[in-house]
Structure 1
Amino acid sequence: MSASVCDIHLCRAHDIKAGVRPTGARLLVDRLWPRGISKTDLPLDAWLKDVAPSPALRIWYGHDPAKWAEFGTRYRAELRDNPGAVESALAWCRRGPASLIYAAKDRLHTHALVLRDHLAETLAKEYAQ
Structure 2
Amino acid sequence: MICCKRVHDPVEVSDGQRVLVDRLWPRNKRKEDLHGQWLREAAPSDELRKAFHAGLLDYPGFTQRYRQELAAHPEHWYPLLDLASNGELTLLYAGKDTEHNNARVLADWLENELERRGPGSSPVCYAP
Regarding TM over 0.5, the answer is yes
How far residue 98 of structure 1 moved from its aligned partner, in angstroms, is: 0.4
Matched residue count: 118
How far residue 64 of structure 1 moved from its aligned partner, in angstroms, is: 4.0
- Percent identity among equivalent residues? 39
CA–CA separation in structure 1 for the residues paired with 2:41 and 2:77? 8
Gaps of 5+ in 1: 1-6
SS in structure 2 at match of 1:96: coil
CA–CA separation in structure 2 for the residues paired with 1:59 and 1:39? 23
CA RMSD of aligned residues (A): 1.7
TM-score by length of 2: 0.86
CA–CA separation in structure 2 for the residues paired with 1:127 and 1:50? 26
TM-score by length of 1: 0.85
CA–CA separation in structure 2 for the residues paired with 1:70 and 1:110? 12
| Structure number having the greater helix percentage | 1
Q: What amino acid maps onto 1:87 in structure 2?
A: Y
Contact 1:48 1:89 in 2 (8 A): no
2:67 matches 1:76: yes
CA–CA separation in structure 2 for the residues paired with 1:59 and 1:117? 22
Gaps of 5+ in 2: 120-128
Task: Give 2:24's aligned residue.
Answer: 32
Task: Give 1:11's aligned residue.
Answer: 5
Contact 1:28 1:49 in 2 (8 A): yes
CA–CA separation in structure 2 for the residues paired with 1:112 and 1:64? 18
Query: For 1:1-129, what aligned pairs fall within 5 Å after superposition?
Result: 7-16=1-10, 20-21=11-12, 23-44=15-36, 46-62=37-53, 64=55, 67-127=58-118
CA–CA separation in structure 2 for the residues paired with 1:123 and 1:28? 20
